Structure 1
Amino acid sequence: MTTKIEGKFDDNLKNTSSDAFRDFNKTFQEQMQKLYKDIEGYKGVVIKNLSSGSIQVDYDVKLEIPATSEANKTVKTISENLVAAIQNYNCSENCTGSDCVCFVSNFTSVVDLNMTQVEENLCDRQTQIKEEFRRYYMPFLTSTGVICITRCDSRHTDSLPCVYGRCSVSQAGPQCECSDKVAFWYWDKACSSRISKVGVGVGVPVAILVLVTTTFTILLLRSRRQKEQYRKKLRSRSELYSSDDGNWDGSRGFAMGNPAATWEDMETSNISYINLERVDTSRTMHIQRPTMVP
């Protein structure tokens, strides 16, 4: 904090070993004790520096308050009360004698707030915790004070959630004890995911059966489709050489041309269509011997 006191500045006040500084310090301490005696956690003041401009005092106020999660809010309230105590002080009414300290109105202010944090190894000194387990505990601020917690506590900065089980601390450290291990398999040490053994025992055979059935059905359908395609090919080939009247009649007909072939008593054209069912096999057919044409 900083404040200003009415009076003439003496250069000897800069020397902390001088009588002037010791006398001023004694008077200042007594005056602050009167002003701050009712302030929560007040443990005294320490002068850091004296400078001119009347007498400007830079000093620290020592406070001791419970270590709780509300400590910051408490310190802020106390700092406001420290300023108000000086601003509300009436020098003419409350100050008499040579040791009187009169403050310059509306000059006092809080320059900085600083708190000593709770020691991290605080839990190492707790006799309530067995020595072999102390290293797994850390201090945690609550609204009522400091407690020591492990990773099994959800308030820990690196808590260990045991979804299907409970957390316990052994000499090896915090660990999850998964429940119903007879009925379930667990994928991780936090017991966060599990698989039913009964479900696997029933599900795997069913899955295999479904897979086999599906594969067999696919093969059967493919076989039927191949057979149907083969039958269609046979029918298309058969239709190429057959018709309803029994004649071999392809899409372009079935024709044979042989100018040298003649039947008795029958004039033939260059191209003859033959109906094999109507051929008279008793009649004689004359065919000219073929000749080689160079």
Structure 2
Amino acid sequence: MCHNGGTYDGIKCICLDQFYGPSCESMVDNVEVDNLCHNGGTYDGVKCICLDQFYGPSCESVVDRVEVGGKVNTTVIVNLRITNMNYTSVLSQTGSHEYYEFIKNFKLEMQVFYKDLPGYKDVIVISLSQGSVYVKHEVIVEAEYNENESVIKQYEEILQKVNQVLENFRNNNCTSESNGSKLCIDVDNSELTAVFPKSEKDRCNEVVQSGFQEHFQPIVVNNSLICVSSCSPNSKSYLNCHDGTCQLQKVTGAHCLCPKTETYVYTSQGCQGKILKAGLYGGIGAGIAALVIFIFTLSFFMFRKHQKKHTLFKDDDKSWYEDYDDEWSVERGITNLSEAVYEDYQQRFRPALENVDTTTQVKIQRPEVLKK
């Protein structure tokens, strides 16, 4: 329904920046060609021609998986000393007939020599040198990507097996004469050199486009190596974008592109929680209104409380003598107190008889009568 990378929101097509129309079928006229195609894509006048692993109208998207394969050739370098032949200057000439015949016979004999080596495929002669004849060659052994064992671990086992082949030949110094080219080998003076293969991660870094390697991780599925990004469902860190599209960026890695619509808005980065924009904006407006009312009400009650407290303090500031209507007069003395005031003070100054020790003897001197 929607062309050129457009997405349908349930009502209409949402087009990319450089396209327009009901189905995003038209392209704007003022787009600069240099900025139209991304990730190394080229514009042919009609559309963008993308590099491998990129796609989309502007080559803006990266594939979420790159398949490497199930087999890998490993190499062990062996330098064998052939004792029943002498090195001549003719063997140094790689184009000579003698050199050609020697290499052909050597490869045939090595098929027998390495026949018990699992995964053996071929030998490639690197060089010939003096010392009777030293033949430096690569032994090609095929390994298979495995979910339970890394290719590095498999190669360590291959090294042990190649070394075991040499040890087994120690008692049988010469190959068979079935090809008429028997070779006698000095095992003690032969050398073995390891050439470790690239790990699964290094292999992915080799095949994935430059700038995106860190966002791809290797996995093995059905004995086949696959490099996947977080946009792939096969990835352990799969980013599920639900209604949106997962896109990979060089710097930020995988992220979700949610459909841009005028009707809905998504509440999560995974393009979930689709809600109506009208309801969202209405809810926000209602929330703001409720907050304003709450603040106004709280301010009003705080103001009333402050006013009431101020009035209370003002009343308490009255002098104690202002509580009574009767006037005091020094001339009239204590007798000028009203009965109500007198009773009030009488109640305030009651003796605490419970603190009096009644066992204490009190001696009162008998009064004397004075005679005139």
Q: Judging changes above 3 Å, is the alpha-carbon distance between structure 1 residues 194 and 114 closer, same or farther for their aligned structure 2 residues?
A: same
| CA positional deviation for 1:63 | 3.7
Aligned-pair identity in percent equals 19
Structure 2 residue 300 is matched with structure 1 residue 216 = yes
| CA positional deviation for 1:29 | 0.7
The one-letter code matched in structure 2 to 1:111 is: A
Q: In structure 1, list runs of 5 or more residues that go unmatched.
A: 123-137, 250-272, 279-294
The one-letter code matched in structure 2 to 1:3 is: N
SS in structure 2 at match of 1:48: strand
State whether residues 41 and 65 of structure 1, in contact with CA within 8 Å, keep that contact through their aligned partners in structure 2: yes
| CA positional deviation for 1:215 | 2.8
CA offsets per residue over residues 103-161 of structure 1, 9 Å max, x none?
22253423322359366369xxxxxxxxxxxxxxx895415214475643265598534
State whether residues 160 and 167 of structure 1, in contact with CA within 8 Å, keep that contact through their aligned partners in structure 2: no
| TM-score, length basis structure 1 | 0.56
Aligned partners of 1:244, 1:147: CA distance in 2, in Å?
A: 101
Q: Number of residues paired by the alignment?
A: 228
Aligned partners of 1:26, 1:76: CA distance in 2, in Å?
A: 29
Tell me which residue corresponds to 2:130.
52
Structure 2 residue 100 is matched with structure 1 residue 22 = yes
Computed over aligned residues only, the root mean square deviation of the Cα atoms, in angstroms, reads 4.6
Aligned partners of 2:295, 2:274: CA distance in 1, in Å?
A: 25
Give 1:3's match in structure 2, choosing from 76, 79, 84: 79
| CA positional deviation for 1:72 | 2.9
Tell me which residue corresponds to 2:312.
228
Tell me which residue corresponds to 1:265.
none
Please give the residue correspondences for 1:100-139 in structure 2 after superposition, counting only pairs within 5 Å: 100-106=182-188, 107-115=190-198, 117=203, 120=207
| TM-score, length basis structure 2 | 0.46
State whether residues 166 and 177 of structure 1, in contact with CA within 8 Å, keep that contact through their aligned partners in structure 2: yes
Pair member with larger Rg: 1
Which structure's residues are more often strand, by fraction?
Answer: 2
Aligned partners of 1:80, 1:199: CA distance in 2, in Å?
A: 71
The one-letter code matched in structure 2 to 1:230 is: K
Q: Judging changes above 3 Å, is the alpha-carbon distance between structure 1 residues 191 and 3 closer, same or farther for their aligned structure 2 residues?
A: same
CA offsets per residue over residues 194-225 of structure 1, 9 Å max, x none?
99969868866665555444333322222222
Tell me which residue corresponds to 2:111.
33
The one-letter code matched in structure 1 to 2:123 is: V
The one-letter code matched in structure 1 to 2:306 is: R
| CA positional deviation for 1:65 | 3.9
